[in-house]
Amino acid sequence: MFIRIASITTIFLFILVSSSVAKITVKSVKGKVSFKKGRVWKPLQSGMSLKEGTKISTGIRGRAVVKLNGHVMRIRPLTMIKLYENKSTTGRSSTRIGLRRGSIRAKINRRRNVRTVFKISTPVATSSVRGTEEEVSYGPGKGMQVDVIEGRIEAETINGTRKFVQGRSKFKFGTDGTKPDSLVGDLADGSKNPLGDPNIIEDEKDGLAASGNDGIGGVDDPATGLPTRTRVNVTIDWPE
C-alpha cells in the first residue's frame, strides 16, 4: 500500500515538474541550419523537438522557424542563438533567448491571465517584449538593434539604462557606446525629436512644439494610457 502511494506520488511529481518545461518545435527549415546540444553540430530538420540549452546556427541562406510556448521565432541567415529558457506554468510563461550574432524576428502570443516574459539578450543589451512583434539583431560593428514592429519592448543595457520602445520605433545600442542611441537620432535637429510614435502628423508636431517639454510628457498613448515619454535605464545581460 505504502509503495503504491509512493509510486503514484513520484509519478505525479515527475509529471508536474516536466510540464513546466514547455515544448520547443521546429516548424520549418530552409537551407543549411544546424543545432547543437552538447558538443556536436547536427542538421536541424523540420518537426524536431528541441530542449533548453540548445544552440541553433544558420548558414548563408539558412532560415528556420521555431515555435516556443506558442510564440513564433524566425531565425534569419548567419545567425546563432541559444535557447536558454522555455517554461510554461499556469499563469506564467517565460522564454529567454541568447542572440550571439545575426537577427531573429519574434512574434509573441500574449494570452489573457498569463504573465508572459520573453527576453532576447545580446552581449550588449537585453530586450524584454511587452507587446507583440519585434526584430532583434546583433553584430560586433553595429551593436544591438531592436525594431519594434508591433507593441512595445523594454530594452536594458549594461550601464543600467532602460528604454521603452514602441510604435514602429528602433532601439540601438552600439558595442562602444555608454548610452543607447536616441530613438530619433537620425533627425538633424534634436530639439524637434518627437517622443512616442514617430509617425505623427504635422498638426500634432506643432502642438508638441508649442506646448514645450511639459506637453510631451503629457501626451498619453490611447492604447495603454501610459505617457509616451521615453525613459532611459540601462542594464546589460549576456547569459553566458
Partner 1 sequence: MRIILLTVIVVFLNMNLYSQGNESFNEVEFVNKLGDKKVATVGDAYTFFVLLSKKSHKTFLKNQKKLIDLKLIDSSTKEDKVLSKGFLSSIIVRYLKLNDSLMYKITGADRYAFRLCASNGLMKHNGSEYDKISGSELIEIISSMSDNKDGGK
Asked whether position 142 contacts partner 1 by CB under 8 A, the answer is yes
Stretches 41-49, 114-122, 184-192, 218-226: which one binds partner 1 (CB under 8 A)?
Answer: 41-49
Question: Which member of 22, 24, 50, 57 binds partner 1 (CB under 8 A)?
Answer: 57
Asked whether position 77 contacts partner 1 by CB under 8 A, the answer is yes
**Rounded to 5°, angle at Cα 93 from 107 and 171:** 45
Stretches 72-80, 87-95, 178-186, 208-216: which one binds partner 1 (CB under 8 A)?
Answer: 72-80
Cell numbers for 192: 524637434
Within positions 191 to 210, which residues make up the interface with partner 1, using CB under 8 A? none
Task: Choose between 80 and 114: whose C-beta lies nearer to partner 1.
Answer: 80
Total residues contacting partner 1 (rule CB under 8 A)? 22
Q: How many CB atoms lie within 10 A of CB 188?
A: 5
Within positions 87 to 126, which residues make up the interface with partner 1, using CB under 8 A? 100-103
Report the C-alpha gap between 132 and 214 in whole angstroms: 30
Question: Which member of 53, 140, 160, 215 binds partner 1 (CB under 8 A)?
Answer: 140
Cell numbers for 165: 520602445
Cβ atoms of 239 and 84 within 8 Å: the answer is: yes
Question: Which member of 141, 190, 212, 222 binds partner 1 (CB under 8 A)?
Answer: 141
Q: Which residues contact 188 (CB under 8 A, 6 or more apart)?
A: none
Least CB distance to partner 1 at residue 132 (A): 20
Cβ atoms of 164 and 185 within 8 Å: the answer is: no
Exposure b/e, 71-106, CB count within 10 A at least 16 = b: bebbbebebbbbbbbbbbeeeebbbbbbbbebbbbb
Task: Choose between 61 and 115: whose C-beta lies nearer to partner 1.
Answer: 61
Asked whether position 42 contacts partner 1 by CB under 8 A, the answer is yes
**Rounded to 5°, angle at Cα 86 from 117 and 69:** 75
Give me the residues that bind partner 1 (CB under 8 A), please.
32-34, 41-43, 57-60, 62, 77-78, 80, 100-103, 139-142
